[in-house]
Amino acid sequence: MGGSLGVCAQTTTKPAPAAAVPVAAPDLTRALPDFSALVEQAGPAVVNIRTSEKVKVANAQVDEQMRELLRRFGIPVPPQRRAPPGANPPPAPAPDDDEDDDAPQRRGLGSGFVIGADGFVMTNAHVVDDADEVMVTLTDKREFKAKVVGLDRRTDVAVLKIEASNLPLLRMGDVGKLKVGEWVMAIGSPFGFDNTVTAGIVSAKARDTGDLLPLIQTDVAINPGNSGGPLLNLRGEVVGINSQIYSQSGGFMGISFAIPIDEAMRVADQLRASGRVTRGMLGVYPDDVSKEVAEAIGLGKPQGALISRITPAGPGEKAGLQLGDVITKFDGKTVEKAVDLRRLAAATKPGTKVPLQVFRRGAYKDLVATLDALPDDRTPAAPDAEAPAATGAQAWGLTVSELSEAQRKELKVDGGLRIDTAEGPAARAGLKAGDVILSANNAEVKTVKQFQAALAKVEKGKSLQMLVRRGEVATYVVLKPGKG
């Protein structure tokens, strides 16, 4: 019995296991940013913009402006009925000076932000372009009628002025320090929902979707109405202006674009100072250099801007540039592709002497060009400003070049000028690049000098009549000065 008790004494039960310690959950508040403080800080400086425009029912150009606005936001646009090949579209009717106050109104929405405590507001040019009235609403519900100080369609930047003071300001950030993958936030009025906040990351920098500006790509949700609002970093600094989206459905698809704020502020400073932007022009038409062409001409790698056309008597021709030249450096800066040359020239003050490095027939050559002023895009200094004096092609939104001998033979004409760009009054009259001007105000034009002389005789505020050929068809077109 004692042995049994001894055995029992040896067979003791196992101790109970220690209680399990719960594993701490990760602190997600440290992994993801909290935007609430940023919204409180930046929100009061963001404004809502409403515009209205009297619809000119007879003016087909209004429809085209709306189509362009839809295209900017990636919204599918139904195909437009086109005239038969060679037909010249009729000029847009002259605006009715006695507009009916009860005429239909086209209304628009956008966003903006304060860049001057004394009432200066920045937004997109396409938000206020052609608007008859612009209203700005602050977050405290105060509403002001705004004056368009100036707008620049090439960069899509506009500056407004409201009669207010001591407004909250946003700080401008350093785009050079912005990193791909960095968190950013947008505040705006998508579809009219004021003070809507969305966030995401920088997807890419320097996207070549803009003509004169490389854009910032993000995945921040941007929709119609966000245009002109600020893109902010986590320090509450503005790094861009929300401007465009890429979409195949009309809605946000994860790709949006913003104008870099450093470039936008350079434009805004000029708009505030003079109501317009002055840019340099080399007077050439550059193309990218393909790998095959680079190898064929001995350039080695595809770089530089290949000159495919030169404006007669322009800065490029005067500097000695020739067709087929490849510009590899502009003012000491490397030119990788055609868009680099356009941007570098545009960013240079007219009248500046710029050294060029050119690759020509297997060797490099140094030239010097004195830049002309790039024709403006007929930006009004203010909605109620006087129409510009019609003293040259620029006042009518035109850039032209003389026809070559081969072109004259092909068209079977003795002279005429080819339209290279048509904006402002010219575009409203239905003109476009490739049209040929045969006469201006009944004066035959064969050279640019003759054309400028004919334009100089047009009285201020009067219309310009031109005989224009498109394809095999010639017709008279009437251009109205200023905003039409």
Catalytic residues: 126, 156, 227
Evaluate whether 295 touches 306 at the Cβ level (below 8 Å).
Answer: no
Residue 227 labeled ligand binder: yes
Strand bridging mode 237-245 / 196-207: unpaired
Evaluate whether 469 touches 444 at the Cβ level (below 8 Å).
Answer: no
Q: Which residues are CB-neighbours of 192 under 8 A, at least 6 positions away?
A: 109, 225
Evaluate whether 304 touches 336 at the Cβ level (below 8 Å).
Answer: yes
Residue 225 labeled ligand binder: yes
- Alpha helices by DSSP H, 75-188: 125-128
Q: Which residues are CB-neighbours of 146 under 8 A, at least 6 positions away?
A: 49, 121, 128, 134, 135, 136, 160, 161, 162
Rounded CA separation 243/386 (Å): 29
Rounded CA separation 314/281 (Å): 9
Nearest to 392 by CA among 465, 452, 477: 452
Evaluate whether 123 touches 227 at the Cβ level (below 8 Å).
Answer: yes
Residue 195 labeled ligand binder: no
How is residue 403 annotated by DSSP? Answer: P
Structure tokens at 95: 């605006």
Structure tokens at 78: 């139904």
Per-residue 3-state assignment (H helix, E strand, C coil) for 203-267 = EEEEECCCCCCCEEEECCCCCCCCCCCEEECCCCEEEEEEEEECCCCCCCCCCEEEEEHHHHHHH
Residue 226 labeled ligand binder: yes
Rounded CA separation 186/181 (Å): 15
Rounded CA separation 179/25 (Å): 30
Nearest to 462 by CA among 377, 393, 385, 387: 387
Structure tokens at 58: 């007879």
- Alpha helices by DSSP H, 246-348: 261-274, 291-297, 315-319, 338-346
- Binding-site sequence positions for substrate: 126, 156, 225-227
- Binding-site sequence positions: 126, 156, 225-227
